[in-house]
Amino acid sequence: MLLPKSFLRWINKISPVRIILFFYLVAAVFSTAIMSLPIAYQDGVEIEFIDIVFTSISALSVTGLSTITIADTLSTTGIILLAFILQLGAVGVMAIGTFIWLLLGKKIGLKERRLIMTDQNQNNFEGMVRLIKQIVLVLLTVELISFFVLGTYFLKYYHDPGTAYFHGFFSTISAITNGGFDITGASLIPYKDDYFVQFINMLLIIFGAIGFPVLIEIKNFLFSKKENRMFMHFSLFAKLTTLTFAILIVVGTIGIYLLDFNEFFKGKSWHEAFFYALFQSVTTRSGGLATMDVSQLSEANHLWMSLLMFIGASPSSAGGGIRTTTFALVVIFIITYARGGTSIRIFRREVHDEDLMKAVTVTLMAMMMVFLSIIIITKIEPYSIVEIMFEVTSAFGTVGLSLGITGELTTMTKIILMILMFIGRVGIITFLFMFKKSKRTGDYHYPKERISIG
């Protein structure tokens, strides 16, 4: 993205992380501004400013928590504006800006590449512009296909083609960005018996949550020549992400089913129970859509789903949470340490100590943030600690599932949830690096001394 010279001089003085956070704050202000336009709302609808801000932040962080009912509040123009903000939040501020400048034929310099690298959670400059091109290409291709498939299929529900394809358009955007908003007024509950709609939405949620670099590696493998495939190797990131993602979906499905085996799932056919449990497991990755009223599940299931939402999606995706690779590294580290190991080995590769340190830092910091938020909100709100925990982890994981209390929350609680959604979207590492010193205090060490642990 081409930037003015005065702005580039400012970039040289400020870290990329702080600039990225600044850009996201600007995007939040911009999103709030366009969602404040009268044309975004239906005639006669009045909405408080805090709810406009909350909806805008929820869309930019692709969360889906909402204090309003989208179908009864926003106009067609407002829904389109909301879809635009969801796209901006899913792909990333720098990615959208870069793609626009590429279309205009502008050159992407080293400073801009550094910002892209930070925004996309990458470790080196190589191939940043190519990465952005491929992300946008893959995303738009999948969205276009899904739009036609869902729009055409929805003709069985909506006789007006315009309405059917509009539902297909927004459903596609909401699912693939992991936004979780809906224009039915009841999420995907109207399609609770339609397994085709559920299957397409689950695929879109997985596309948005598994990580854009993984999708690009899979695309390159599938579209390469057969004789070249034997020489292609998936990265450790792609392998670990895909395996962890799959395990979480399977374990999540089993857990959701078993915890309500004799309650919600009692009396339901095997395919009803299977799709209910599977969809809720997939949506906890960061989707936020639902085929049932999750408040009907037991408290044990609410706690289980809170854990799944806390983990969230994969890095470099549209989702939030501590991320799947973080969770995987922490679990593998615990197992390795218990067995007396000193280094983490995965798929015949050894993990860098710095990556392990980041994983542990993110997990501990996230636990403290979530725990502190729950304590504060418990003192403010009259709801049970389980309901509050569910809402907090949903915000931090940028999921959007709720037990139905979002619209009744106080302004202070809404602000806390907005902060969690924002941090969940940009990532804890990016947030923490905002406080990083620009200069080293000195390359020296003090004498080491052992401390008793455990």
Per-residue pLDDT of the chain (454 residues; tens, 9 = 90+): 445 556 556 555 666 667 777 778 888 999 999 999 999 999 988 899 999 999 999 999 999 999 999 999 999 999 999 999 998 888 775 565 555 555 555 555 555 555 555 555 555 555 566 777 788 888 889 999 999 999 999 999 998 999 999 999 999 999 999 999 999 999 999 999 999 999 999 999 999 999 888 888 888 888 777 767 676 788 888 899 999 999 999 999 999 999 999 999 999 999 999 999 999 999 998 899 999 999 999 999 999 999 999 999 988 888 889 999 999 999 999 998 888 877 888 888 888 888 888 899 999 999 999 999 999 999 999 999 999 999 999 999 999 999 999 999 999 999 999 999 989 888 887 777 766 665 555 566 788 776 767 6
Whole-number pLDDT of residue 195: 96
Residue 349 pairs in a beta bridge with: 346
Q: C-alpha angle 366/242/302, rounded to 5°?
A: 45
Alpha-carbon distance of 142 to 20, in angstroms, equals: 27
CB neighbour list of residue 203: distance below 8 Å, 6 or more residues apart: none
**Residue 326 structure tokens:** 């973080």
Report pLDDT for 339: 86
Give the integer Cα–Cα distance in Å for 279 and 408: 27
Residue with tokens 């689950």: 202
Residue-level pLDDT at 217: 84
Q: List the Cα angle 52/87/322 in 5-degree steps.
A: 85
Cα(51)–Cα(428) distance, integer angstroms: 25
Amino acid at position 389, single letter: M
What per-residue confidence (pLDDT) applies to 112?
54
- Distance separating alpha carbons of residues 106 and 146, to the nearest angstrom: 31
Instruction: Enter the tokens of residue 336.
Output: 């390795």
CB 168 within 8 Å of CB 153: yes
Tell me, what's the pLDDT at 99? 55
**pLDDT value at position 1?**
45
